[in-house]
Structure 1
Amino acid sequence: MKYGRLLYSLLLALSISTVANAQEVVNDHMFHALPAAKNFSDFDSKGFLINQKRTFIVSAGMEYARVPHELWRERLLQLKRGGFNCVEVYTIWNFHEPTEGKFEFDGDQNLDQFLALVKETGLYSIVRVGPYYCAEWDQGGYPIWLRFKSGVRVREPNAEFEKYVNRFFDRLLPIVMKHQINKGGSVILVQLENEHPKGWGTDIPNDYFKHLQSKSLAMGMEVPYFFSGVHHATDPAGKGILDDPKRPNPWFSTEFWSVWYSQYGAKPTDAATYDRRTWKIIAHGGNGYNFYMAHGGSNFGYTNNDEDAASYDYGAAVGQAGDLRPIYYTFKRAGYFARSFQEILENSTDASAAYQYLTPDTTLKISARMSEAGTLIFLDNSTEKQLTKTITLKGLPPFTINLLPGEIHPIVHQFKLNNQVELNWGLSRIYSVIKQQNTTTLLVEANAGDPLYLNFITAGKAVIKSTIHVDDLKVTGNSITLNTVFKPADQPTLYLFKTGNQLVRILVMDKAATNKTWITAETGSEAIVTGVSYLGETKLSSTGFEGVATYPLAAAKDTHAMLYLENGIKNLIVAPVQDIKIDTLLSLTLWENKDASIFAASATNNGKWIASENPLQMGKNGNLTNSAWYRTKFNAPSTGKYTLQSDGGDRATVFVDGKLVTHWKIRSGELTLDLKKGTHDLGFFTAHDGRDKLAAYLGPITDIDKKGLSGITRIKKGGPFIATLDNWYFTAASDSIAIKNGPPLLDTLKTTKYKIGADVFKLKEGYGWFQTVVKAQPGLSILIISFKSTDENATLFINGKKVLRHEGWNIPFEYKITEPAILAKPIELSVFIENISNEGGIDQPVKINLMGTGTVLTGWKMKNGVDPEDTSVNWEILAGVDSLNGPQFYRSTFNQQKSANRYLVWRVHPYGMGHGSVWVNGHNLGRYPEKIGDIGLYIPEPWLKEGQNEILIYDEDGKNPSQVKITLESAASKISYQLKAQ
């Protein structure tokens, strides 16, 4: 991912490789709640306070825009089961106002319903209202129509931009504010803007930020809020120095990048890598985190940006199709631990110095967090090998701990479990503490052969309850100690003791068993279920327990489950599921074809064509798809090679007189055509793979990342006329004042050679001259010098004279030379670059255009490229050809038999196809080809019907669909069964 330079410097500075103290780099403060919400969601310098209770926020990034609404509840429940207590979402602008003034808040866009489900599921929410989002989403969330509004400058103090933001916020914010926690909803925090290069946290650098703030407050925002985000990084804790006496609020990461959007599925190292990075936050004073993403989802329709296609799987804990990855279980452990001990973690100070005595071995790093609620000590094995270490705690015998590579092992000290029992020392891995009214259950995880040690202090006489392993518990006065070695068994090892009316239950199990252990709450009662691969919906009442459970199709069946209630343990009946043969490939009927390239010829005027003098960039006509047709005429005065020049992007299929002649990368700027003398119909089918997300971009967006054809289009005999400027040289400058003296003398023998894209500033602020010589062009009427991007601010000199000043990165600009005297001689081109941060230089090729004058093509017509409902062409059985004449529609059908016990996940693999989109039963699955390998396009289960289903493909290259397959994804498919208490 390539960010804007300013933003990139902030984000890079947050990573472990750059700084230890992230808070020294960027403002991470938050605005307090208004009085109306203060008792519901607020904070102090030590932690978050939700409903006046210390609360560790374990948040899951999930975009409802990337999940069909029929699956929202299921995905939210998966996150809740995974130890999360919160979800973080974007309210993407162009998802809700794709067409100007027409707001969509129903179906998949029903934010009101989504936030209600979050509350119903028992989760909190953090809502990021924008109006910019990034998110690897088309245009970063800006509606396409906004590009063409005169005077709009995005993310700056700009009345026109704010006018449209206000209109959107007038519809969006009432929904969000309705669901604030103080109004009975789930929303505990609001983020304004996103990853802005000028303001994070509580920074308000200009009136644009003030406007967002005042508008949101006027619309009823009462919960705490902040700007842009805080502590975005792939390892937010860095070197683990998170305490800051100057910070008035908790430490929190709103984007803890867990894995990345360029990945599908899990790598073997993901779970361990991100487990460690999560525990670093817990161990060093962090008060919460949001995994971006915990569930990625899909870029349905044309919502992807130019870095993605249909999948936004992200390698996340919950996969695109709902499968649970190994990282899910590591997040689950960390989340449940942090929430179990939130009374300490949300009100703690650094007590590391007091516990360095535990071991003299410096390979084992020790940190500690202390509060009135108790102390947590963390043993950090930062090495890549397993360590067995003996530690000595005051008052206890030496204790041996086995530490896995990279593991951060918590020790609990003086933590009150209830009003009768204190956990004095918990040296074993405590997974979770569950309060079940008068029963407190400790889940402890251990590997075979691990020592177990838990020591409790009781207020009264303790009585050991009868268990198989009763001899492992020792009572000495008011002290109870579990001291043994763990031996895995088919069921969790159970220990029980009682003091007064308080029962303490200890369940010890290995990692495989904790993976199959779930906590559920119904009617205010907590229940623990073990032995289940995944626990879905449950119903717990005074008379019984029922639940729906699943196990992966590719895994072994669940065979035995247990239910742990406050006052008893029950066997759960696992309803048997009959084995049946499941086909892994769906059979497709004969493909039908509809020719979508008929619009290349001027004789075809079907559809809504828009006339204009010059071609209009895609989207100007309200086109929300990724393709468009353009047509015009040209009278070639003689036979020969012609060069056509136009602006825009990305791809074009070019037709002359209705016949496909070539394919063209529009960004190259020019196209070569062999034409006979006479008048010709020129047709262009253009398509793109997603718009840039405009990260860190400020200013007008009309001409940024244009698609289709755009602007004045010329054609001239001969060519090519565009060339890349090579032979650059670099001279460093000491400061910005050097520009006043003008460019240095260009001596190519003494000056350093420079390669475009190289970082001469070594990731630091700096200044320098970049110089080259353009050959003389006598007789040329105009020379255009085009820069795609300089990093960052650039001042242009021609023959030593300043001619242009440009600010910003990743913004194209050009300069035109028309003076005959200058063109008649070699031209010395000098560029003074001011690099604000990180890498710098000329980061994209510089081109010159030598066309001069040419025939301007006018009389253009334009229409949308995707029109499957066009009735002017009939569907026909596809003939056996490899590739047809330009873009084509194809359709087929397949049968799918649904089963109450089987949730099968199917993917469309567009083998043999070019670029395009796929619909199933009218639902657009998104774009292909995927950029992350052969994974296929996910078909959400609710979009499939019992019996016959239709698949429709629009292939922009006209490739034959004979190799297309719909295959079963066994990793995400699952078997469901009923659970009942005996």
Structure 2
Amino acid sequence: MWRKLFFVAAICGLSGIARAQSNDHMFTGAPAAKSFIDVDAHGFTINGKRTFLVSAGLEYARIPHELWKDRLLRLKRDGFNCVEIYTFWNFHEAQEGQFSFSGDHDLDAFLKLVKQLDMYCIARVGPYYCAEWDFGGYPHWLRFKPGMVARTADTTFVKYVDRFFDKLLPIVAKNQIHKGGAVILVQLENEHPSSWGSYLANDYFKHLQQTALRLGVEVPYFFSGMHHGHDPAEDKKDLFDPKRPSPWFSSEYWSVWFDKYGSGQAESDVFGRRTWKIITRGGNGYNVYMAHGGTNFGYTNDDEDAASYDYGAALGQTGDLRPMYYQFKRNALFARSFESILENSHASHQFDDIAGEQELGITTRSSDAGDIISLDNNNAEESRVTYVNINDKAYPSAGKLVLDPMEILPLVHQFRLGNNVTVDWAITRILGVQKTGHTTTIVAYGKLGSYGDILFQVKGKVTLQNNAADFHVTGQQLALQLTYAAGKPNVYSFHAGDETIRIVALDTQLADRTWFINENGINAVVTGPAYLADIWKANGQLHITAEQPWYGTVAPSAHTWVYDDGGETTLNNGPLPTQFPNQLPLTADWIAHDATIPAAAGFNDKTWLASETPLQMGADGDTSAYAWYRVRKQLPAAGLYTVDISKGNGRYIAFLDGEKVAEGNASALSFTAKKGAHTLAIFATHDGRDKLVSYVGKLDLDVKGIAGTVLLHYGAIPMLSQWKFLAGGDSAQLPASYLHAVNYRAGKDAFDGHKGNGWFHTSIAAGADAIFFNSVDDNAVVYINGRKAGTQNGWGVPFSVAVPKDLKTDSIAIDVFVRNDDGRGGLDAKIKAVYKADQVLTGWRMRGGPGTFEAFTRTVPTPPKGSTTGTPIFYKTTFKLDGIPAGVHPMWRVTFKGLSHGFIWVNGHNLGRYPEVLPVDGLYIPECWLREGQNELVVFDEYGNSPAAVQIKAEQQASRAAYDISEATY
């Protein structure tokens, strides 16, 4: 059944909370950091300059450290100047008191790499994270601290938080911007239900604040977050709030969603519009969550995901570029080019009548640095506008001005390019503006066959250069008429004093293939490649490594154009690979290793964790999704027995004396046994822990494996079913009749997600001593044969109600009144009868993990294709990686066709859980984990399904080819 605060209406918080209380307070930094990073109601100032913050959400924990630079560079190329990260607690302290900050866990190295790439970082340090990550980021061992209440000032909880922060925050602190690092903002906690706007009214938040300041956090910081949502600007026309000291910033601008793989042009159009709304209505920045989702390697997925956390993001799981990547680049480069306007602006109505078509919405942001006037075609059809009216003259001066369906087009007015040149009006789409020495390059774009204009105000002598005939000079006014050619730039330029202004006009497709570069001593605009991976100079030559998708919709350009202070250079592209592999062959037969050795009656389990009643998974420190349980029992008679697990959830396979006898959930483990002594072994697994969204309280919940009292019932356990539900009534008066009741299946929402109350009714045969309820949602009063037998306040708590001993009837009638306070509600699915004759199983031993592959010595035959053993098995084979043409970069996936549930390893690296929740065929193999020649592939399948159909295939749409571009005469 549901767990009320765990079901997801939004990524890491209930959408109602996010909308109603979406603007957390941002605290200004310490004086030491103020000249490096400062905030006010108008925006961000970084290193003394007004800066529009375009942040990309990604998690270093979901990316192998060898690929950190690749993913960061792709985001930098996309126009992002900042990244946002979570520092998952259980990623750095998986075992109590043992901290890991090296390799994939090397936060310091990651932050230094962000700085090396000249980007900023927002560090979200927790201690709670959400993020569809295992247990919301809490370490498993934390759940075993008696009485501890998480996310409060509980002394035990803050003791362990402080110990973690003592290790974590000094790393963050030394990488702050005023210390020469990348960190400009810190988030303490995350979407805490009581902190949206009331942070320091709570001792817990005061403690987090004091701890962070004590450990050296000096940059601005905030608590729960700001303006989370898929469309954070909503329908507001002005996001600026003069009553708040904080800039308008969305710390989680949700792009697609965690249940999606891939995205296309439709998503690009939707999120492009939503981003323009932020930019043109007074927003000061945004963090796209996720800009790159990555992968849940190992056992890090929560119960809503498997391995892929693609998120439908602009930058795909494998690093592939989706249409939204190029749309976000248009948004980002524009916002950063005109940040001097956007970061200090106010709403204006000066240009409300500028459009020739009054159906367009008009929004203006004005500041001392200029104006941005946005035309909004909030329509499912192209706009019918033919011009904008500037000084009683219609523009464009040729052709029409047409907006796409739902397009927002920002026009620029009175923007100063230098001492001698000001853009009076730009009636065109502008990708960005870049200054290279004494040359300023404006990149404009539009549809083929359309026109645009840029009007300049100039001082001093003007000398026209490229395409002089398209300029018109009137005194100190300079008008340029733009056209956009197919597949090649149109370049216009002029001199004014010691300044050169260059305008590069491109069609929309070529604009997407344009890159603003400032690295390795090169300051340039580069047009042509689908992706520019690297650029450098050597021996007087310019070298570029570019990428092209294997099967992209846009053919690669024959040329690449470079624009810098020296002028324009046209380069010839190197040859592009033409042969692309589809599959890697397996080079050995599968070897099957038996994983059920711990089920044998004579297995030595003396080193396992011992307890009277079984302990939930993780009690021995294991962090995997598996555990073995063993218990010995003398059975008094032959017959059918049922294991009754009162606490725990997941899947179970039961073995009696080494032989499989049952599988299922906690209420379905029945088997036939002879009288005498037996060893019962249970293999337990789960598909991920709940992320505990918006939860405050004790962490001993969402129990995995087996815990609490386990009964052995002789015969089948009567589960209560065939319920009737009657809405309304009150707890003091049993319904006179259930004539108008509806059939109800326990575990379903009876209240359609709304507050309400009602009666539930069923009956069973007499003889039971108690009725066990796994949970009611939210509060219940239980009647047995018309007598009030018990109450329960609060959801998520198992409880039992005794059956009165003096019942004289042949059946037991159960009536349950439930009051649902909010959201979903009703009865949990696990409702059963309990009997005195049930035996308590005691003397348990447990060990976490599926076992170590190398430790197994007993092999079993590999099942033929399509068959299964029904028991857990390791499978092993090898595959060969060679003969891949130079420059060809396949994105390989291991398919799981024919398998059941489990995990896959390549060369010892755990690729994560299968089957995928998302519609993707196979688990992604990071290229850095492969090696030339022989590679090892290991599959752990929980039910021993044959791996005969498993393949290693290239994901065609995500793979790419690299090629070189160079020019000796550069």
Normalised TM-score (structure 2): 0.93
What amino acid is aligned across from residue 457 of structure 1 in structure 2? Answer: Q
Alignment equivalent of 1:528, drawn from 520, 525, 532? 525
Tell me, yes or no, if structure 1 residue 671 matches structure 2 residue 656: no
In structure 2, distance between residues paired with 1:435 and 1:665: 65
State the shift of 1:776 in Å.
7.5
Alignment equivalent of 2:277, drawn from 258, 277, 280? 280
Alignment equivalent of 1:769, drawn from 731, 752, 757? 757
In structure 2, distance between residues paired with 1:537 and 1:843: 59
In structure 2, distance between residues paired with 1:237 and 1:638: 69
Deviations 1:248-270 (A, max 9, x none): 21111111111111111124411
In structure 2, distance between residues paired with 1:6 and 1:691: 11
- Structure 2: stretches of 5+ with no match in the other structure: none
Paired residues of 1:776 and 1:823 also in contact (CA < 8 A): no
In structure 2, distance between residues paired with 1:188 and 1:758: 46
In structure 2, distance between residues paired with 1:439 and 1:896: 48
Give the equivalent residue in structure 2 for 1:235.
231
Give the equivalent residue in structure 2 for 1:739.
none
Q: Residue 833 and residue 489 in structure 1: after superposition, are their counterparts in 2 closer, same or farther (change >3 A)?
A: closer
Secondary structure of 1:332's aligned partner:
helix
In structure 1, distance between residues paired with 2:740 and 2:460: 85
State the shift of 1:554 in Å.
2.6
Alignment equivalent of 1:200, drawn from 170, 193, 196? 196
What amino acid is aligned across from residue 502 of structure 1 in structure 2? Answer: E
State the shift of 1:757 in Å.
7.6
Tell me, yes or no, if structure 1 residue 298 matches structure 2 residue 295: yes
In structure 2, distance between residues paired with 1:200 and 1:191: 13
Tell me, yes or no, if structure 1 residue 223 matches structure 2 residue 211: no
In structure 2, distance between residues paired with 1:660 and 1:13: 42
Give the equivalent residue in structure 2 for 1:148.
144
Give the equivalent residue in structure 2 for 1:833.
820
Matches within 5 A, 1:520-669: 520-522=517-519, 526-540=523-537, 543-555=540-552, 556-577=555-576, 579-580=578-579, 582-605=581-604, 608-646=607-645, 647-666=647-666, 669=667
In structure 2, distance between residues paired with 1:4 and 1:784: 20
Secondary structure of 1:297's aligned partner:
coil
Tell me, yes or no, if structure 1 residue 781 matches structure 2 residue 769: yes
State the shift of 1:364 in Å.
1.4
Paired residues of 1:422 and 1:456 also in contact (CA < 8 A): yes
Secondary structure of 1:115's aligned partner:
helix
Return 712-721 or 419-428, whichever deviates more: 712-721
Give the equivalent residue in structure 1 for 2:919.
933
Give the equivalent residue in structure 1 for 2:505.
508
Give the equivalent residue in structure 2 for 1:918.
904
In structure 2, distance between residues paired with 1:694 and 1:802: 32
Secondary structure of 2:632's aligned partner:
strand
Q: Residue 220 and residue 635 in structure 1: after superposition, are their counterparts in 2 closer, same or farther (change >3 A)?
A: same
Alignment equivalent of 1:471, drawn from 469, 472, 475? 469
Q: Residue 496 and residue 273 in structure 1: after superposition, are their counterparts in 2 closer, same or farther (change >3 A)?
A: same
Tell me, yes or no, if structure 1 residue 433 matches structure 2 residue 420: no
Deviations 1:912-955 (A, max 9, x none): 11111111111111110111124211111111111111111111
Q: Residue 800 and residue 50 in structure 1: after superposition, are their counterparts in 2 closer, same or farther (change >3 A)?
A: farther
Matches within 5 A, 1:826-975: 826-835=813-822, 839-842=823-826, 844-845=828-829, 847-874=831-858, 878=862, 880=864, 882-884=867-869, 886-897=871-882, 900-975=886-961
Paired residues of 1:743 and 1:830 also in contact (CA < 8 A): no
In structure 2, distance between residues paired with 1:662 and 1:7: 30
Deviations 1:480-536 (A, max 9, x none): 11125x242332100101110111100011121012111111366521111112111
State the shift of 1:6 in Å.
10
Secondary structure of 2:855's aligned partner:
coil
Deviations 1:608-633 (A, max 9, x none): 42222222111111111111111223
Q: Residue 267 and residue 557 in structure 1: after superposition, are their counterparts in 2 closer, same or farther (change >3 A)?
A: closer
Secondary structure of 1:611's aligned partner:
strand
What amino acid is aligned across from residue 416 of structure 1 in structure 2? Answer: R
Q: Residue 13 and residue 208 in structure 1: after superposition, are their counterparts in 2 closer, same or farther (change >3 A)?
A: closer
Give the equivalent residue in structure 2 for 1:736.
none
Return 712-721 or 619-628, whichever deviates more: 712-721
Secondary structure of 2:678's aligned partner:
strand
State the shift of 1:820 in Å.
2.5
Give the equivalent residue in structure 2 for 1:738.
none
State the shift of 1:173 in Å.
0.5
Return 176-185 or 856-865, whichever deviates more: 856-865
Return 715-724 or 441-450, whichever deviates more: 715-724
Secondary structure of 2:389's aligned partner:
coil
Secondary structure of 2:411's aligned partner:
strand
Tell me, yes or no, if structure 1 residue 712 matches structure 2 residue 697: no
What amino acid is aligned across from residue 801 of structure 2 in structure 1? Answer: K
Paired residues of 1:202 and 1:227 also in contact (CA < 8 A): no
Tell me, yes or no, if structure 1 residue 816 matches structure 2 residue 801: yes
Alignment equivalent of 1:89, drawn from 81, 85, 92? 85
Tell me, yes or no, if structure 1 residue 325 matches structure 2 residue 322: yes
In structure 1, distance between residues paired with 2:942 and 2:11: 37
Give the equivalent residue in structure 2 for 1:104.
100
Return 710-719 or 580-589, whichever deviates more: 580-589
Q: Residue 879 and residue 493 in structure 1: after superposition, are their counterparts in 2 closer, same or farther (change >3 A)?
A: same
In structure 2, distance between residues paired with 1:493 and 1:659: 76
Paired residues of 2:76 and 2:119 also in contact (CA < 8 A): yes
Alignment equivalent of 1:114, drawn from 106, 110, 117? 110
Q: Residue 728 and residue 287 in structure 1: after superposition, are their counterparts in 2 closer, same or farther (change >3 A)?
A: same
What amino acid is aligned across from residue 92 of structure 2 in structure 1? Answer: H
Give the equivalent residue in structure 1 for 2:44.
48
Q: Residue 665 and residue 23 in structure 1: after superposition, are their counterparts in 2 closer, same or farther (change >3 A)?
A: closer
In structure 2, distance between residues paired with 1:583 and 1:780: 62
What amino acid is aligned across from residue 73 of structure 2 in structure 1? Answer: L
State the shift of 1:144 in Å.
1.0
In structure 2, distance between residues paired with 1:319 and 1:508: 29
What amino acid is aligned across from residue 598 of structure 2 in structure 1? Answer: F
Paired residues of 2:594 and 2:856 also in contact (CA < 8 A): no
State the shift of 1:597 in Å.
1.3
Paired residues of 1:376 and 1:413 also in contact (CA < 8 A): yes
- Structure 1: stretches of 5+ with no match in the other structure: 734-741
Paired residues of 2:42 and 2:240 also in contact (CA < 8 A): no
Paired residues of 1:780 and 1:823 also in contact (CA < 8 A): no
State the shift of 1:655 in Å.
1.6
- Number of residue pairs the alignment of both structures matches: 953
Q: Residue 29 and residue 542 in structure 1: after superposition, are their counterparts in 2 closer, same or farther (change >3 A)?
A: farther
State the shift of 1:421 in Å.
0.8
Give the equivalent residue in structure 1 for 2:453.
453
Give the equivalent residue in structure 2 for 1:746.
735
In structure 2, distance between residues paired with 1:871 and 1:203: 51
What amino acid is aligned across from residue 592 of structure 2 in structure 1? Answer: N
Give the equivalent residue in structure 2 for 1:214.
210
Q: Residue 12 and residue 936 in structure 1: after superposition, are their counterparts in 2 closer, same or farther (change >3 A)?
A: closer
State the shift of 1:975 in Å.
2.0
Return 812-821 or 565-574, whichever deviates more: 812-821
Q: Residue 568 and residue 894 in structure 1: after superposition, are their counterparts in 2 closer, same or farther (change >3 A)?
A: same
Give the equivalent residue in structure 1 for 2:333.
336
State the shift of 1:429 in Å.
0.4
In structure 2, distance between residues paired with 1:302 and 1:778: 45
What amino acid is aligned across from residue 859 of structure 1 in structure 2? Answer: G
Give the equivalent residue in structure 1 for 2:678.
680
Q: Residue 579 and residue 727 in structure 1: after superposition, are their counterparts in 2 closer, same or farther (change >3 A)?
A: closer
In structure 2, distance between residues paired with 1:284 and 1:683: 63
